[in-house]
């Protein structure tokens, strides 16, 4: 558990990093912490919005996002949180499909879906997103979808946008082919890039309010720069994760109440996994550091994981995310004939039932002395979600500092990518 004394010690330790963070806000994109300045970048926002406006004039029936890891998880997370997991089924003007891994069944389905639109004269946008421009899965899927669009359109370049680092081969190819291009600043790493054109362009196409998303992130950034750890939610949360890890709880369960928040859990899983999972520390010593992130959905996973969380080893810290206000009110009907099945739910809003579950879980964890943190977000608006993402990205930077690892690189991911390219070069399967 986190004593006041321990917290004070960590606050002292974090002082140089508070200073680095504040200095980073003055350096634009010239610092590894550059992503914290994305919400201020009015020039990029203007450019993205103008492209969004152009492409929306095509009245696209579908947007296909080809990207993986940091190049799509944030987009999916915001889309589902703000617009809903069932967004496509709600008959929006533009539906969205994500081409992530090279799963031929799934990509085959995407091809069938867009083809039935293209056949009847519909328009399909493709957004290829790859910072490096050389990720095998993304480029394979991008080519497949681009070819399908080209089968039906004489001017495929009108429908295709590439988001990549300026000097990448993907960016270069896009320019040669006259595709629209958007840039990812060099020092903004994939898993920190959701508020760059990586997320902004596809989310803008789907009608997400980009100003609000960025405003929420900017608002929370100011708080997360505070050198008083009690007033800095990111540093406070990093300290809690760090201390629990020291005490043997090296599993962090990000437990989000709400079906539509599930992908924020997956986004955070990547953020933690790749930022902290490091063989070497900053001094070059072999440490095999890491916090193992898991993501749970409340209350769904109470029915699959809670037994383990409460009854199993005391090796986890939970962080609950709870939404205070919901746009919709759905009530259980007043049906006396059901009242014998579950008492006291007749006529009640579902939110009240969720609140009772949330309180019940907290109470039982306290009784068992299992540690947990609570993050309350006002609602699921763009503003609140932008704030949550920024808070977590800054928490990760503070955690990297405390663990003395570089939270901005991912050498092991690069290693598998290189191995894959080598195997493909040799003509296929590794012998
Ligand atoms: O966070 C990261 O850097 C990685 O997970 C990348 O986002 C992922 O590997 C995709 O890389 P790229 O955007 O270069 O295609």
Dist. CA 180 → ligand 1 center (Å)? 21
Closest of 255, 276, 275, 251 to residue 264, by C-alpha: 255
pLDDT in tens, 218-264: 999 999 999 999 999 999 999 999 999 999 999 999 999 999 999 99
* Nearby residues of 145 by Cβ (< 8 Å), 6 or more positions away: 64, 66, 99, 110, 111, 114, 126
- Measure the CA–CA gap between 235 and 154, rounded to whole angstroms: 53
pLDDT in tens, 323-347: 999 889 999 999 988 988 999 999 9
Atom 9 in ligand 1: residue holding the nearest Cα: 69
Beta strand spans in 111-165 (E): 124-130, 160-164
Q: Helical H runs in 153-185?
A: 169-176
The mean pLDDT of 31-37, rounded to a whole number, is: 96
Sign of the C-alpha dihedral, residues 5, 9, 14, 18? positive
Q: In a 3-state reduction of DSSP, which class is residue 25?
A: coil
- Measure the CA–CA gap between 61 and 119, rounded to whole angstroms: 12
70 in contact with ligand 1, CB cutoff 6 A: yes
Phi and psi, residue 324, nearest 5°: -80, -40
pLDDT band at residue 183 using 50, 70 and 90 as cut-offs: very high
pLDDT above 70 coverage of the chain, percent: 99
- Measure the CA–CA gap between 335 and 413, rounded to whole angstroms: 55
Beta strand spans in 272-315 (E): 278-280, 286-289, 292-298
pLDDT of residue 430: 53
Dist. CA 186 → ligand 1 center (Å)? 12
- Measure the CA–CA gap between 134 and 417, rounded to whole angstroms: 9
Six-digit token string for 259: 């079906």
Per the model's pLDDT, the better-predicted residue between 430 and 10 turns out to be 10
Number of alpha carbons in the 13 Å side-chain half-sphere of residue 81: 35
Judge residue 354's burial from the number of C-beta atoms within 10 Å of its C-beta, 0-12 exposed, 13-18 middle, 19 or more buried.
middle
Dist. CA 65 → ligand 1 center (Å)? 14
pLDDT of residue 300: 95
Starting at the edge strand that comes first in sequence, how are the strands of the sheet with 180-183 ordered?
Answer: 95-99, 62-66, 124-130, 160-164, 180-183
Tell me which residue has tokens 């429908």: 159
Atom 12 in ligand 1: residue holding the nearest Cα: 130
- Measure the CA–CA gap between 397 and 403, rounded to whole angstroms: 10
199 in contact with ligand 1, CB cutoff 6 A: no
- Measure the CA–CA gap between 50 and 307, rounded to whole angstroms: 50
pLDDT of residue 176: 97
381 in contact with ligand 1, CB cutoff 6 A: no
pLDDT band at residue 429 using 50, 70 and 90 as cut-offs: low
Whether the per-residue pLDDT at 431 is higher than 70: the answer is no
Please choose from 98, 102, 129, 132 the residue to mutate so as to test ligand 1's pocket, defined by most ligand atoms within 8 A of CB: 132
pLDDT of residue 334: 93
- Measure the CA–CA gap between 63 and 357, rounded to whole angstroms: 37
pLDDT in tens, 269-326: 999 999 999 999 999 999 999 999 999 999 999 999 999 999 999 999 999 999 999 8
Given the CA of residue 68, which atom of ligand 1 is nearest to it? 10
Neighbours of 16 (CB within 10 A): 10
pLDDT band at residue 209 using 50, 70 and 90 as cut-offs: very high
- Measure the CA–CA gap between 188 and 200, rounded to whole angstroms: 14
The mean pLDDT of 32-57, rounded to a whole number, is: 97
pLDDT of residue 422: 82
- Measure the CA–CA gap between 92 and 251, rounded to whole angstroms: 39
pLDDT in tens, 303-314: 999 999 999 999
Residue 270 CA to its chain's centroid (Å): 8
- Measure the CA–CA gap between 281 and 290, rounded to whole angstroms: 11
Per the model's pLDDT, the better-predicted residue between 424 and 167 turns out to be 167
Dist. CA 163 → ligand 1 center (Å)? 12
pLDDT of residue 166: 94
73 in contact with ligand 1, CB cutoff 6 A: no
pLDDT of residue 2: 84
Six-digit token string for 283: 């001094």
407 in contact with ligand 1, CB cutoff 6 A: no
Starting at the edge strand that comes first in sequence, how are the strands of the sheet with 292-298 ordered?
Answer: 292-298, 251-257, 316-323, 372-377
Put simply, whether the predicted model's pTM sits higher than 0.85 gets the answer: yes
Whether the per-residue pLDDT at 421 is higher than 90: the answer is no
Closest of 211, 181, 215 to residue 198, by C-alpha: 181
Dist. CA 70 → ligand 1 center (Å)? 5
Taking the chain, what is the end-to-end CA distance rounded to the nearest angstrom?
50
Query: Are the C-beta atoms of 105 and 44 separated by less than 8 Å?
Result: no
């Amino acid at each position: 558990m986190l004593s006041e004394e321990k917290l004070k010690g960590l606050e002292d330790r974090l002082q140089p990093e508070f200073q680095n963070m504040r200095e980073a806000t003055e350096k634009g994109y010239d610092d590894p912490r550059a992503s914290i300045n994305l919400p201020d970048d009015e020039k990029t926002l203007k450019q993205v919005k103008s492209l969004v406006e152009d492409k929306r004039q095509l009245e696209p029936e579908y947007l296909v996002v080809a990207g993986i890891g940091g190049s799509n998880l944030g987009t999916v997370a915001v889309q589902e949180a703000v617009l809903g997991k069932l967004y496509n089924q709600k008959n929006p003007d533009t539906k969205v499909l994500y081409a992530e891994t090279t799963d031929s069944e799934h990509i085959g389905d995407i091809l069938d879906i867009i083809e039935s639109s293209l056949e009847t004269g519909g328009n399909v946008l493709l957004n290829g997103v790859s910072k490096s421009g050389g990720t095998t899965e993304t480029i394979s899927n991008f080519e497949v979808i681009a070819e399908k669009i080209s089968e039906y359109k004489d001017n495929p370049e009108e429908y295709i946008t590439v988001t990549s680092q300026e000097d990448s081969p993907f960016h270069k190819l896009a320019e040669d082919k006259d595709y629209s291009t958007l840039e990812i600043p060099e020092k903004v790493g994939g898993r920190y890039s959701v508020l760059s054109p990586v997320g902004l362009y596809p989310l803008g196409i789907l009608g997400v309010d980009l100003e609000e998303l960025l405003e929420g992130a900017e608002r929370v950034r100011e708080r997360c720069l505070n050198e008083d750890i009690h007033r800095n939610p990111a540093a406070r949360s990093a300290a809690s994760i760090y201390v629990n890890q020291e005490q043997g709880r090296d599993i962090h369960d990000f437990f989000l109440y709400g079906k539509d928040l599930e992908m924020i859990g997956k986004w955070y899983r990547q953020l933690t996994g790749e930022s902290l999972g490091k063989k070497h520390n900053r001094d070059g010593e072999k440490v095999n550091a890491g916090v193992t992130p898991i993501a749970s959905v409340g209350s769904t996973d109470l029915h699959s994981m809670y037994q383990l969380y409460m009854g199993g080893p005391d090796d986890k810290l939970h962080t609950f995310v709870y939404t205070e206000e919901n746009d919709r009110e759905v009530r259980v009907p007043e049906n006396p004939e059901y009242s014998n099945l579950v008492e006291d739910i007749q006529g009640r809003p579902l939110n009240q039932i969720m609140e009772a579950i949330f309180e019940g879980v907290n109470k039982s964890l306290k009784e068992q002395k299992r540690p947990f943190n609570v993050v309350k977000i006002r609602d699921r608006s763009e503003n609140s979600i932008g704030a949550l993402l920024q808070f977590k990205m800054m928490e990760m930077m503070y955690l990297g500092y405390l663990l003395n690892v570089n939270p901005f690189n991912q050498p092991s991911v690069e290693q598998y990518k290189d191995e894959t390219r080598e195997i493909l070069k040799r003509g296929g399967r590794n012998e």
